[in-house]
Amino acid sequence: MSMRMPRAAQRGFSLLEILVAFAIMALALGALYRATGGAVRNVGHIEAQQRALSLLQSVLAGVDGVPERGLVQDGQSQELHWSLRSAPYAGGASGPNVPPLHEVQATVAWSEDGRDMQMQLTTLKPQLGTITPRTQR
């Protein structure tokens, strides 16, 4: 009499289970890739804006006053194109020791991912040569 040993239960995964696991993993990796790709693009965009803002602040800091005829300047720093324009400011205070004010607008433009980007800062600056210094007695 021959004794038959019961077949041991098979261990492992079926082909269908492996295919489902790979499909779920592919979906998860795709979502992760999109999320990290978007974050990298956002970092690049923020860095470009920070460079533009630093340039605008630097250009405006270089303007101590505005000539009576106004201010028109243009320039370029790496891929950033900047311009300064001024116009008389009508809302300023008036008096013998108060210089006329000019509204100075600094603009920087650049291209990013095929799109034209632009940033502007506006400030008030005094007109040059309009105050006569007081003589001390």
Question: Alpha carbon 20 to chain centroid distance?
Answer: 43
Res 116: pLDDT: 92
How many residues in the chain? 137
Task: Tell me the average pLDDT of the chain.
Answer: 84
Nearest-angstrom CA–CA distance, 66 and 100: 10
Please give the pLDDT value at position 83.
95
Strand partners, 82: 75, 108
Question: Quick one: how many helices (H) and strands (E) in the chain?
Answer: 1, 4
Residue 10 pLDDT class (50, 70, 90 cuts): low
Task: Report DSSP state, residue 127.
Answer: B
What pLDDT, on the 0 to 100 scale, is given for residue 34?
84
Query: Taking 80 as the threshold, does the pLDDT of residue 74 lie above it?
Result: yes
Evaluate if residue 137 carries a pLDDT over 50: no
Closest listed residue to residue 77, CA positions, set 100, 56, 105: 56
